[in-house]
Structure 1
Amino acid sequence: MKNLLTILFVALIASCSMAQPGKWNTKNKKAIKLVEAGMDAAHNAPIDQNGRLDFSDAINYFDKAIAKDPNFTDAYILKAEYSMRGGDPEAAIQAYHTLIAIPTFTTSTGYVYYDLANLEFANGMYKEALEHAQKYATYRTAPDDMKQENQWIILNSEFAIEAMKNPVPFDPVNVGSGVNTYDPEYFPTLTVDQNNLLFTRRVTNERTGQWQEDFFISENDNGYWKTGEPMPTNINTSFNEGAPTFAPDGKTLIFVGCAVERVGYGGNRRGYGSCDLFITQKVGTKWLDPINLPGMVNTKHWETQPSLSSDGKTLYFIRGQIRGTGGRAQRNGDIYMSKLQEDGSWGEAEKLPDNINTKYSESSCLIHPDGKTLYFSSNGHIGMGGYDLYMTQLQPDGSWSDPVNLGYPINTHHDENSLLVFADGKLAVFASDRPGGLGSLDLYQFVLPETVRPTKTIYMTGTVFDIVSRKKLGAEFSLKDLETGEEVVRSYSDPMDGSFLVSLPINKKYALFVNKEGYHPYTVNFDLVVPENSEEPYHMDVPLTPLSQPTSGEIALANVFFDLDSDKLRPESFLELNAFAAFLKANPKMKIELQGHTDSQGDDAHNMTLSQGRAKSVYNYLVQQGVDAKQLTHKGYGETRPSTFTDASGNEVKRTEEWINALPTDKAKKDAHQQNRRTVYIVLEN
């Protein structure tokens, strides 16, 4: 793919710079006659099988004219311009090189150097482009817009030359025939467990004979991608579907549907513009009919290339519109983001700042599962030419870092886009038409250079179930960063099989909250610290206790924390206690006993006093939040009631002092003592 700027500019030059008949700069009548015959042939050029005007006859006449007079500069200009318009930039460059080497060649405007620099830059000839752009910069009478574009060529050529001196590691490997075919494949998206790859394929509609875009999905089989299967017919239609984005669990899909003013093709696909975003969800094994994305994202413009954050609450996408009359700015796209509202709709979209969005075009945005690293494609930032791939990161203050070019040879003078970065941050996939592929556009996998990697994330899996009946449950769950109190993920387990899957940045402390009507809330906290090279997911099952079940067993308030050897609640406890207060107020007939427990270390009497104070602190906080004091009692048990668990044989085991002392490692002993230090409640009356 060639730089659109070059094509459009050359067309402009062709219309305004050619010498007029009778004013040719040669006295050779045969050469003049051949050039004029070439002009006639150009005006009557046929259209070739690719839909491009075929100027080969005209160029043959120009070559013959040059043979008659090798110093006929107008003939070289015509050959260069029509070679470019005919899709042969190499021939155009060669014609210009020969032209400027002619001793008698002069130009008062210098446009030939400008035109040549554009051609050379668009074809990766950076040293030559720099030389000729610098030559054009000496012509002070050049129009301001051309001066600006010429300076752009200089800056980019300098960057490209330096980038090629310092290449980044890059060894792309075709992902295989399970995914790639003779047809073009592009716009990949991946579930966070890296087991399902969804991508767009351009296929031919057997009924109409026209091409269309459909989705295919391939499963990972021990590192190999199985043959991609088309998505069901309520997703794939006879129109275009493309640029999908998965939620991390693979059960929510947002995608682009174009020509959307229609009904009856996989549901109601009416929209607001030529291309809109649609959403569908997977329940069990079935995908629901897509609907127009609720809220304020879709407009009269086209919305495309969505990317959903790992917490499911921020959507990044491209909004495009026609802007300008030519060059890089003709078809403009900007990166926008929208936030999920409490009612499930998407709020008014905001454009990312000007250090990300340029006056030219941005596309192919991807927010990594770490929630802060954004990859995108642009032809408006300094790079190698065409569209390059860049990375920016969301800063703690809400700003975005200045974009970083991913480097050469990931980026080249061709257009690079459709980047997908795996959750682990090591691997990436992109679409390329490089030689040796199976078709025009294939998907390739490569190791991402360390300098442009995101924060490593792993995925957490689990199943929500009824602790009594073992029935799988659909429930709302929330994961929060214990350090910041911010919600990292809010999602739902599958109502059919109770499963959930989320992605989480590593080396952080998290609190898990699970709620379902008719059940006691479930909470737990954990440190997501993983070995350096571990790729194993974190697994946690969630047993929910029904409110209707009489229980004398304790239910943990796992995210209630106190200062060391103190009954003062730490601020991170408020997340859980606020939610628990709401639960108690929603169940006013429930009466509970709040219990404080300690481990067996230290003085017995001190431990008893400490546990009583902690239970009282929780009681006081809940009452302050509006819970009826009649629902609550509180008591401390010190070290008298060690926690219990069920071992692999189904036996209930108490974490007594003797049992702890028999554990093989200091870490195991420390963890056991931690299990005994707990705040819980028991239900007295339901």
Structure 2
Amino acid sequence: MKIKKIVPFILIISVLLISMTLSAQTKKSVLKLCEKAVVEIENRNFDKAIVLLQKALKKDSLYPEIYIRLGDAYNFTLQSENAAACYNRAIQLFEDPNPILYMFAADEELKSGKYQEALLNYQKFLQKSTKQDLILEVENNVKKCKFGIEALKNPVNMHPVNLGPSINSEWDEYLATLTADEQEMIYTVRRPRDAKTICTFCMTEEDFYASINQDSVWQLRYPLGPPVNSSYNEGAQTISPDGKYLFFTLCNAESGYGSCDLYWSKRIGGRWSRPRNFGAPVNTNNWESQPSIAPDGKTIYFNSNREGSIGKSDIWKTEMIEEGVFSVPVNLGPEINTVHEENAPFIHPDGTTLYFVSDGHIGMGGRDIFYATLLADQTWSNPINMGYPINTSADELNIFINAIGTKAYYSSDKEGGLGGMDIYYFMLDEHLRPIPVTYMKGKVKDSDTGQPLEAEIEMVDLNMNKVITSTKSDPVTGEFLACIKTGTNVLLNISHPFYLFYSDNFYLKTITSELEPIIKDILLEKPSKGKTLVMNNVFFEFNQSSLKTESFVELDLLVHFLSQNNRLKVEIGGHTDDQGAEDYNQKLSLERAESVYKYLISKGIKSERLTFKGYGEKNPIASNETEEGRASNRRTEITIIEN
């Protein structure tokens, strides 16, 4: 749900141990006003306390204890600049001020973004104080002051644009999430309560709203409606890159395990299913919130204060083993989580760049936005602060980066908005961008009837033999969207238990945000005599018949297909381009076909179901005049000869 700044109720004046003994000149009425103010502060009536203390100042403006209590009241009402001014005035009036006053003043200056002033007060505290339990915290805040001073000198480019009245209103709008093609946005709206609002004491209710992007213009928003929206508070959502799943947070529901739980809903044919609780072991009797799903369609990052957390609130991850079944969550560890709070995880569609909010890592003073990269050994890089003015001395809420990595969406109540929190976007500085991701989008259909099919769709990084995208086409419409990470050699496999699988390869050597998405419908064929499957991800060493290791992923898919269809007999055909002598190409194609034949046998496919043949350069499927055409002609085909 919406992240709020929480001020722990510690009566600051109770730890100061500053004498209440009044000078002879101080009037009894001042003492009485101060005593009343203390009672109001204890009862959380801060506004009343402020009025009483301001009256006391009019009677005696040189009495330092009034400023301390007034600073406390301003602190609790988040008026940091006023609080800092009061603590500093108290320091001036005391001959020998308690060192902790310097820390109180510095804390409020840090919250206000007055880093130089805060640094001086922290340094005075460190010079005078012997409280070891506070020194470590102050030393950490000194680092934040120094970071803030440098960040202000070196701002990143940020020119926020309000998304306008189709998205924003006089209410609060925040936590925008988009599909990978940026055609749909779902976000949280905090609206006034209505007659159906279940929360008895809530003046507002959180619901999901959506908008469709048509010709680069966001259309008028609409409530997502039932069954996802209910009379409870729904928020802190994420939509899967392909738009098929919505994961979100629901609080204080009768079906819940704790104060807030994670739920999921699936879109089928344009309609959302009834939300289902993640259940154990993900949800506990604690607080689980703010999910974000990776492009592999399985890994879900979320926020929790569950047992085993390093700090007050940590980022965890779980895997969806099968639809609606989740693994035991794993803490992301001390590289990401601190003894303080980490919130609002967002895993980019590149699957490796994690953005999150933290007040534990060194930042601008409040909760800042950081990013870290998942390394090859599955550890995280050191988090990097996104800099000023993306981060400020205030608390940042979250950030969402589009798939190609160029545009960031966030929420702010800055002046000039339509009211409350509004959703903005800005173009992201290049050094802050994740790895760009493009996508393939289309429909899966039966090649004979044109009927939509629900097919399994996987993108596999051939260099790492790792699934980077996993999804299904819609069973009603056949629509699908699969993310493709630039800078990788990617296998695309689209499979259905009753059809020949479809194979393609995307070798996106350059890491770039300039690539156009691939729009393509896939026609799957039923296995029958004479049908041919081109194996686009079978590779050989140059001028040799030795299989490259990248080939094993697709060959194993072929093994699975033949095992599932154990009556089929197939021919393995080897083909070359026209470069080199014809006899040489004929021999090479035969040897390559034989290599595939031997691999399949080694994986348990019976030899009597297989034959192999070399066709050399005789049957091109593209022009040999271009490198692209020649690459298409160098291929391995599987042809059904008996079913």
- 1:12 is displaced (CA, Å) by 2.7
Aligned pairs for 1:214-229 (under 5 A) are 214-229=207-222
Q: Distance in 1 between matches of 2:306 and 2:593?
A: 61
**1:369 counterpart residue number:** 349
**1:138 counterpart residue number:** 127
- 1:363 is displaced (CA, Å) by 0.4
Alignment partner of 1:152 is 2:140: yes
- Structure 1 pair 81–107 and aligned structure 2 pair: CA distance change class (3 A): farther
- Structure 1 pair 453–86 and aligned structure 2 pair: CA distance change class (3 A): closer
| Contact 1:42/1:58 (8 A) holds in 2 | no
- 1:353 is displaced (CA, Å) by 1.6
| Contact 2:64/2:89 (8 A) holds in 1 | no
**2:445 counterpart residue number:** 465
- Structure 1 pair 137–290 and aligned structure 2 pair: CA distance change class (3 A): same
Structure 1 residue aligned with 2:376, among 396, 401, 404? 396
Q: Distance in 1 between matches of 2:220 and 2:628?
A: 46
> What TM-score, normalized to structure 2?
0.93
- 1:535 is displaced (CA, Å) by 5.1
Q: Secondary structure at the match of 2:32?
A: helix
Q: Which deviations, in whole Å up to 9, do the C-alpha atoms of 1:655-681 show, x marking residues without a partner?
A: 5xxxx47xxxx5xx2222222222112
Q: Where does structure 2 lack aligned partners over 5 or more consecutive residues?
A: none
Q: Secondary structure at the match of 1:633?
A: strand
Aligned pairs for 1:93-492 (under 5 A) are 93-102=84-93, 105-107=94-96, 109-141=98-130, 143-207=131-195, 208=197, 210-261=203-254, 270-293=255-278, 296-320=281-305, 332-341=312-321, 345-492=325-472
| Contact 2:206/2:234 (8 A) holds in 1 | yes
- Structure 1 pair 394–530 and aligned structure 2 pair: CA distance change class (3 A): closer
- 1:222 is displaced (CA, Å) by 3.2
Aligned pairs for 1:1-150 (under 5 A) are 7-8=7-8, 11-17=10-16, 23-24=21-22, 26-30=23-27, 32-40=28-36, 43=39, 53-66=47-60, 70-102=61-93, 105-107=94-96, 109-141=98-130, 143-150=131-138
Q: Which deviations, in whole Å up to 9, do the C-alpha atoms of 1:225-250 show, x marking residues without a partner?
A: 22221112100000011111111111
- Structure 1 pair 129–243 and aligned structure 2 pair: CA distance change class (3 A): same
- 1:342 is displaced (CA, Å) by 5.5
| Contact 1:462/1:540 (8 A) holds in 2 | yes
- Structure 1 pair 52–177 and aligned structure 2 pair: CA distance change class (3 A): farther
| Contact 2:405/2:513 (8 A) holds in 1 | no
- Structure 1 pair 243–579 and aligned structure 2 pair: CA distance change class (3 A): same
* Structure 1 runs, 4 residues or longer, greater than 4 Å off: 1-5, 18-21, 44-48, 321-324, 529-533
Q: Sequence identity, in percent?
A: 35
Q: Which deviations, in whole Å up to 9, do the C-alpha atoms of 1:3-53 show, x marking residues without a partner?
A: 968x548x43223437565x11x22143x42232342255358999xx854
- 1:75 is displaced (CA, Å) by 3.0
- Structure 1 pair 590–388 and aligned structure 2 pair: CA distance change class (3 A): same
- 1:323 is displaced (CA, Å) by 11
| Contact 2:406/2:513 (8 A) holds in 1 | no
- 1:295 is displaced (CA, Å) by 5.8
**2:552 counterpart residue number:** 574
Q: Distance in 1 between matches of 2:129 and 2:84?
A: 24
Q: Which deviations, in whole Å up to 9, do the C-alpha atoms of 1:458-513 show, x marking residues without a partner?
A: 12112211112222211112111222222221211111221210222113221111
- 1:359 is displaced (CA, Å) by 0.3
Q: Secondary structure at the match of 1:305?
A: strand
Q: Distance in 2 between matches of 1:593 and 1:487?
A: 29
| Contact 1:18/1:77 (8 A) holds in 2 | no
Q: Secondary structure at the match of 1:374?
A: strand
- Structure 1 pair 17–2 and aligned structure 2 pair: CA distance change class (3 A): farther
Q: Distance in 2 between matches of 1:93 and 1:309?
A: 43
Q: Distance in 2 between matches of 1:89 and 1:62?
A: 21
- 1:603 is displaced (CA, Å) by 1.9
Q: Distance in 2 between matches of 1:188 and 1:620?
A: 52
| Contact 1:65/1:75 (8 A) holds in 2 | no
- Structure 1 pair 674–569 and aligned structure 2 pair: CA distance change class (3 A): same
Matched residue type, 2:304: R
Q: Which deviations, in whole Å up to 9, do the C-alpha atoms of 1:212-267 show, x marking residues without a partner?
A: 11101111233332222111210000001111111111111111111122xxxxxx
Matched residue type, 2:65: D
> What TM-score, normalized to structure 1?
0.87
- 1:537 is displaced (CA, Å) by 0.8
Matched residue type, 1:335: I
Q: Where does structure 1 lack aligned partners over 5 or more consecutive residues?
A: 262-269, 644-654
**1:609 counterpart residue number:** 587
Q: Secondary structure at the match of 2:369?
A: strand
- 1:114 is displaced (CA, Å) by 1.6
Matched residue type, 1:607: N
Q: Secondary structure at the match of 1:340?
A: strand
| Contact 2:574/2:635 (8 A) holds in 1 | yes
The worse-fitting range, judged by mean Cα deviation, of 369-378 and 111-120 is 111-120
- Structure 1 pair 474–365 and aligned structure 2 pair: CA distance change class (3 A): same
Q: RMSD between aligned alpha carbons?
A: 2.6
Bigger radius of gyration among the two: 1
- 1:358 is displaced (CA, Å) by 0.4
- 1:595 is displaced (CA, Å) by 1.6
The count of aligned residue pairs is 637
| Contact 2:160/2:426 (8 A) holds in 1 | yes
| Contact 1:362/1:379 (8 A) holds in 2 | yes
**1:590 counterpart residue number:** 568
The worse-fitting range, judged by mean Cα deviation, of 314-323 and 396-405 is 314-323
